[in-house]
Amino acid sequence: DTEVTQTPKHLVMGMTNKKSLKCEQHMGHRAMYWYKQKAKKPPELMFVYSYEKLSINESVPSRFSPECPNSSLLNLHLHALQPEDSALYLCASSQETSSSGANVLTFGAGSRLTVL
Amino acid sequence: GQNIDQPTEMTATEGAIVQINCTYQTSGFNGLFWYQQHAGEAPTFLSYNVLDGLEEKGRFSSFLSRSKGYSYLLLKELQMKDSASYLCAVRDSNYQLIWGAGTKLIIKP
């Protein structure tokens, strides 16, 4: 299995809703990432988990809350979002966070979020 | 600061060759990546360069010159399905990926 699976593919939510994005990989990767991508822009790193521990939080607002229940799963809990948070949310995984090898990121297909 | 520059948009003809350039200024260097991203989809890995020179993989090749802070992605025998954005990313001394803004490649028949 060489895939990263994200659900849901599309999500529409109001500013008072609570929802979650889910990500799963079975490649034995020990690093997992959340990225946010706006149209015609590169991906922006939000969070990095290494061996199930949060290693990087790129000053993301607290309305985004990551969770890594185990080495295969990564969630992003959403609460009280703003319309400007509408974007494509990409999950990715890699063997490790720091490696002398290629350590290629494998991305999921993304969850397209619309906040009304 | 850290900076990666690549052209915003390029147009090429089906069957032709196109070269997409990327220049970078980063805090350290631990490899350069090229990713392809079709509209509304996830980026997919194309190539990785850590040493100077050319890496060839089928119709795609990637070149790196570390002394010049320069890379290019060469696409041969262009097909309509190659219409996509091509993202250059450099891994810095902290093993963080710094992304370029991407080059939108338009292929015309």
pLDDT at residue A103, as a whole number: 83
The helix (H) or strand (E) run that includes residue A69 is strand A64-70
Provide the number of CB pairs (under 8 Å) joining chain A to chain B. Answer: 44
Mean pLDDT of B42-71: 96
pLDDT at residue A45, as a whole number: 94
| Residue A36 forms contact with B (CB below 8 Å) | no
Nearest by CB to residue A42, choosing from B40, B44, B102, is B102
pLDDT at residue A98, as a whole number: 74
| Residue B51 forms contact with A (CB below 8 Å) | no
| Residue B17 forms contact with A (CB below 8 Å) | no
Nearest by CB to residue B95, choosing from A42, A97, A107, is A97
B95 to A108: CB separation less than 8 angstroms, yes or no: no
pLDDT category of residue A100 using cuts at 50, 70 and 90: low
DSSP conformation letters of chain B: --EEE--SEEEEETTS-EEEEEEEE-SS-S-EEEEEE-TTS--EEEEEE-SSEEEEETTEEEEEETTTTEEEEEE-S--GGG-EEEEEEEE-TTS-EEE---EEEEEE-
Mean pLDDT of B48-76: 97
**Distance (Å) from the alpha carbon of A105 to chain B's nearest alpha carbon:** 8
B95 to A99: CB separation less than 8 angstroms, yes or no: yes
The 10s digit of each residue's pLDDT in A12-22 is: 999 999 999 99
**Distance (Å) from the alpha carbon of A15 to chain B's nearest alpha carbon:** 24
